[in-house]
Structure 1
């Protein structure tokens, strides 16, 4: 059995993760920690687990094999260092830290301690993502030349009660690009099996009283020449279905893919057009998946990730998504921010 401690509860996702952990028989949550007294009482009453004031106390009082970190991003590196030194494997909610240097500290600490560091980039587990990766890998759209990713989530007010630190740059590291853009950055890197070599960014603060961007754009160049355009924001009205406006597009020398994911919805459809000869009799196709509906953050995607993680920890294998993947995504975000400040493209070393 893998005993889990949740470190930090002033975040939008810990409650959703409790529903996910409940569906993975190899894992059980034995403790949590949170500095805010009201949140501690609410969580303990809802889930029936002991909640401590500090993660140090939670990890010292319980035999914990996995620490799941949901702290303000600037606090995550120190928490990971403590958990790793205590012998616990570590899951850190993306984007993992306020800056790439913080993730570097995490990687070093976990390597010293011989424990696993992982981050849940759950879009890799979507069945449509996997079908798109198969199509790209098999060359159905030819050489990929352009990608488009839109992720517009609810307005900043959604953070003001549950996790106000998300709107403070010193604690969070950044806004929409930092918190949401990493999803599509990671997905595109994974789909292409390629790395970003340059970034151009443009960011704006629309909502008064916050110091992180709520509207951001980026143009990324991959090493093999593909370009990716990102439109990432906290601008969706409360009336929008599931609170997310999502789109993934891929254009290649022989075809096109278009997908508007249904966030935490069941039915997903993707459009494909291809000029490959095996598609000549039906060059336009639609792929449909009805995802299994289960409770918890990101539903079956989150459950699948935790099942994979439990299996890898039990077998002593590396995780499917190691911490270094989070580092690479955040390095791209930092290049976007640097570009926006300088007004020119920035190269990634």
Structure 2
């Protein structure tokens, strides 16, 4: 796995045979001990793909070893863990980023650009709807899945995290959250498979979140932004998202599914055709990850912030924690969160 100006030097995993096979495929050194891998002078940065509750301890260990850190989503499973990671990276003078590759989707970039250009005026309402499917075989793959101790949560932490990141990226900072969550259709797991929330943003705008893992086949993941001038823009990030034979699959590629900006509505079918054609040439599941890893490597070389720094990953952790707190305590939760 070679990128411009970077190469895979080491692989660390718990399963010795699988780790060795993967490392051999890419010409890297295999390790089963993180400390030993971090002691390799060739290693300058790490990508953490461990179970969610391990992110904090692994990131702090990597930072103290002087390694830059890119963490798979979510950044952490608690605000305290996120803060420890950010502080450790800052103290060590290393970069900390979180994988949010969907920000690089072309339809997502169009929505963000339209908002920044004032094409919808001030955003007034933002909605996130994610209706997918994760069946028993998904949760049976690993013992940590579907548990509070091993996964840190359910649909909010694992599947909706991308949409929650994008919704805040489009709409801005939050000031209060209310919500409810439950396990309605997966008796074999501990965590929630369904959640709803209402949001209030700093500028006065409102938002809604409706997410579930119980639609079979999966339906969609959509984020829509409605502005004060009456214009609306939106993106479908997931089209029929499901987990089949160990792989996340989608029937539709990412596309803009809503666009009523004056003078631009005619562009919607043109963009959709472009995005669908692009998906025939690219593997959507890997291409945008690669772009974000390339950005992270460039951030290290250029001594700049990565595409999604740890502080922005923290915002999503805070929102998820606020929804959990609102559901447990049956109240509106103000942000920023206290202890």
Normalising TM by the smaller chain, what interval?
0.7 to 0.9
1:114–1:132 distance in 2 versus 1, CA, 3 Å: same
- After superposition, give the CA deviation of every residue in 1:87-115 in whole Å (9 maximum; x if it has no partner): 11001101122211111111111111110
Separation of aligned partners in 2, 1:307 and 1:292 = 20
Aligned partner of 2:107 in structure 1 is: 128
1:132–1:84 distance in 2 versus 1, CA, 3 Å: same
1:94–1:209 distance in 2 versus 1, CA, 3 Å: same
Alignment of 1:120-159 (within 5 A): 120-159=99-138
Alignment of 1:188-207 (within 5 A): 188-192=167-171, 194-205=172-183, 206-207=185-186
Aligned partner of 1:6 in structure 2 is: none
Aligned partner of 1:34 in structure 2 is: 13
1:270–1:220 distance in 2 versus 1, CA, 3 Å: same
Alignment of 1:1-349 (within 5 A): 21-22=1-2, 24-37=3-16, 39-40=18-19, 43-44=22-23, 46-47=25-26, 49-192=28-171, 194-205=172-183, 206-237=185-216, 239-240=217-218, 245-253=220-228, 254-262=230-238, 266=253, 268-274=255-261, 276=262, 279=263, 285-286=267-268, 287-288=271-272, 289-290=274-275, 291=278, 298-349=285-336
Separation of aligned partners in 2, 1:325 and 1:294 = 31
Separation of aligned partners in 2, 1:167 and 1:285 = 42
- Find runs of 4+ consecutive structure 1 residues off by over 4 angstroms: 44-48, 262-267, 282-285, 292-297
Aligned partner of 1:9 in structure 2 is: none
- Gap regions ≥5 residues in structure 1: 1-20
CA contact (8 A) 1:201 1:219 kept: yes
Separation of aligned partners in 1, 2:137 and 2:296 = 30
CA contact (8 A) 1:32 1:55 kept: no
Quote the offset at 1:209 in angstroms: 2.3
CA contact (8 A) 1:266 1:293 kept: no
1:330–1:294 distance in 2 versus 1, CA, 3 Å: farther
CA contact (8 A) 2:128 2:223 kept: yes
CA contact (8 A) 1:312 1:318 kept: yes
Separation of aligned partners in 2, 1:39 and 1:222 = 45
Aligned length: 318
1:31–1:125 distance in 2 versus 1, CA, 3 Å: same
